[in-house]
Amino acid sequence: MLSPTLFPLFCALFLCLPVAVIFTVQRELTGVASPEFGFRSLSVFSLYARNVPDASPPPPPAIPKDDEPLLRLASHVNPNLPPGSTRKVAFMYITTTPLPFAPLWEMFFNGSSSTDLYNVYIHADPTRDYDPGFSGVFSNRVIHSKLSERYTPTLAAAARRLLAHALLDDPRNYMFALFSPSCVPIHSFDFTYKTLVSSRKSFIEILKDEPWQFERWAARGDDAMLPEVRLEDFRIGSQFWALTRRHARMVARDRRIWEKFDKTCVREDTCYPEENYFPTLLSMRDPRGCVPATLTHVDWTVSDGGHPRMYEAEEVAPELIVRLRETRPRYGEDGINGSVSERSDPFLFARKFSPEALEALLGMAKGVLFNDSACGA
């Protein structure tokens, strides 16, 4: 039996034991190193948190490399932007060379009031060399790319691939604009951005009854496009367009029309799927959702081997920019978009410029190109 004098002491020790245990556990579970022993561990609250299911959303699924699962996945994205989100523009480049006007585009993007207004995507043919590589705003923006050549469906397939990646990458991408390495901006970023995101329609040239229309339609064989695409449904237009999110998803969902264009041509000289597939598809599916014009200026009055006029360095002057800005786009007259004669949309971009024109363009960038009040803009 305990001595009566020791009993109170024993009780006190017994009562203090849980406190001592908690104190010891707490010291061992703190995130602060013990000065005596140098150990480090989590707090009891962190220990509890470890047993609580992670409330953060799961990481997005990996973007497929093969086109079929890629487009299938992209076809299921929400065609609408998240509520209250800011619209963004996806700038998409198809190239087989280094981007010669990357410094000019860098200046263009630096004029943005926020980097959260745009995304950049590059489709770079992996069979080509890219020296110098992509840097600055173009760094780490190359998607999984495949061979892309003229006179084949591969250029149109590259554009579909870009659309799918952009749809999956950011749910806030609202407008999807396509460019070549020879394209340059001829307005400021803010002017360009406001023009694109304020539109509820896509900007895509849609022309019918054009010269060589039958030859282009029959490039895969006289009846190869039937029955899905009749000659009267076939359209021609610039391969450089700006599509709304709804139309980008429409392209990703399409299988029926694409199967007709994704064929080897028997006549190479009239095989331009990149200029036929997109205007044909949108003309058949949603003509009223399109402004039937491109916002990328090009001069076909001079043609060399199927290529439009190339502006050389000595031609680059403020007067050229004035002329490009003041030229009115050509509108397709399908009788389905009201009176397009009343429209006067501005050209936002222009091509083709020689790589040697870079210095001249950089020299007038701030004072002319990106100054929307200059040159009668």
Multiple choice CATH, 67-364, 3.30.40, 3.90.550, 1.20.120, 3.30.300: 3.90.550
The confidence score (pLDDT) of residue 233 equals: 97
Show contacts of 209-215: CB within 8 Å, 24+ apart: 210/236, 212/270, 215/267, 215/270
Please write the tens of the pLDDT for every residue from 243-284.
999 999 999 999 999 999 999 999 999 999 999 999 999 999
**Separation between Cα atoms, residue 232 and residue 214, nearest integer Å:** 9
Angstrom distance (rounded) from CA 197 to CA 89: 7
pLDDT < 50: residue spans in the chain: 2, 9, 13, 18-52, 376-377
pLDDT of residue 6: 52
- Domain ranges for the chain, please list them: 67-364
Is residue 148 within 8 Å of residue 178, measured between CB atoms? no
pLDDT at 343: 81
Other Cβ atoms closer than 10 A to 357: 23
pLDDT at 22: 43
pLDDT tens-digit series, residues 356-377: 999 999 999 999 999 988 654 4
**In the β-sheet with 202-203, what is the strand arrangement from edge to edge?**
118-124, 88-95, 173-179, 242-244, 202-203, 290-291
Cβ-proximal residues to 327 (8 Å cutoff; 6+ apart), any chain: 297, 347
Query: pTM for the whole thing?
Result: 0.83
Q: How much is the pLDDT for 339?
A: 55
